[in-house]
Amino acid sequence: MSAGGIDVPGDLHVPADWEAAAARLRAASRILVLGPADAGKSSFCRYALSLLPGARLVDADPGQKSVGPPACVTSGQIEDGRLLEGPLAFAGSTDPVRGWQALAAGVRALADAAPGPVIVNTGGLLAGPGPRLKADKIAAAQADLLVAIGAHPGIEAVLADHTALASLRLASSTLARRKTDGERRQARREAFARSFAAASEWTVSPEGLLPDGAVLHPRQLVGLAGDAGDLGIGILTQVAADAVTVLGTAGPAGVRHIRPGLLLLDRDFRESALPR
């Protein structure tokens, strides 16, 4: 885990029905949280973490993060009142549809690696392909309890498709506030900036590290993977046929694969999508 972390507020707003659900939460081992954007899912996850000592958060929202960098499935645990960053799985995009398969694979990998209870937070996409994406995350997490925060027709579709699973319907936090698109973009910029604050730059030959025929771009976001999983993320600062320079949150030691993502990040961590 990283040395940094996010403070967990001691005065977190907990609606009455969240408190009433505490016994159900303590009896579960794989909890998946769903609901529309800005319903209080992240706040609920922090509350659930406080009830389950040793539980690990798996943040499967690639755009709005509770912990770790965007464009990834991330994880964290509470230690000394802080949510400390743990392992991650690179998804390559902040768009959950473009990163669909990698998101599901990341949820499975991080949930399976957790030694204790797991709480999976998901994004707010519930319309269109949202219920199918949630179904894949539910399967990947091997969830034994679904927690639905707030109200949305897509929630009903998900729960109707998973009647064999235990579920809870809970109210949104009254303090939850709808964010603008600009606020969401700024939050991603800040999350990327935090992740790259201690990054180092290194140059390697791409041979054997990158997929054959990969088309690379300067400022492209990449995943840095070792033999046992993802080690961190990087930005390609220089690209040539015989060498690539990476600004990486992990150093070159142990990197066995560089996985091209679907985003470009400028020097201020503003993102743009690679063409399809």
Tens-place pLDDT, residues 121-140: 999 999 999 999 999 999 99
Q: Is pLDDT above 80 for 3?
A: no
Q: Do the Cβ atoms of 117 and 58 come closer than 8 Å?
A: no
Q: Is pLDDT above 90 for 157?
A: yes
pLDDT of residue 8: 44
pLDDT of residue 11: 60
Which pLDDT band, with edges at 50, 70 and 90, does 10 fall under? Answer: low
Q: Is pLDDT above 70 for 6?
A: no
Which pLDDT band, with edges at 50, 70 and 90, does 195 fall under? Answer: very high
Q: How many residues does the chain have?
A: 276
Q: Is pLDDT above 90 for 7?
A: no
Q: Is pLDDT above 90 for 15?
A: no
Q: Is pLDDT above 50 for 112?
A: yes
pLDDT in tens, 249-260: 999 999 999 999
User: Rg of the chain over CA atoms, in angstroms?
Assistant: 19
The mean predicted confidence, pLDDT, of the chain is 93
3-state secondary structure the chain: CCCCCEECCCCCCCCHHHHHCHHHHHHCCEEEEECCCCCCHHHHHHHHHHHCCCCEEEECCCCCCCCCCCCEEEEEEEECCEEEECCCEECCCCCCCCCHHHHHHHHHHHHHHCCCCEEEECCCCCCCCHHHHHHHHHHHHCCCEEEEECCCHHHHHHHHCCCCCEEEEECCCCCCCCCCHHHHHHHHHHHHHHHHCCCEEEEECCCCCCCCCCCCCCCEEEEEEECCEEEEEEEEEEECCCCEEEEECCCCCCCCEEEEEEEEECCCCCEEECCC
Which pLDDT band, with edges at 50, 70 and 90, does 175 fall under? Answer: confident
With a pLDDT cut of 90, the percent of the chain lying above it is 86
pLDDT in tens, 40-87: 999 999 999 989 989 999 999 999 999 999 999 999 998 888 889 999
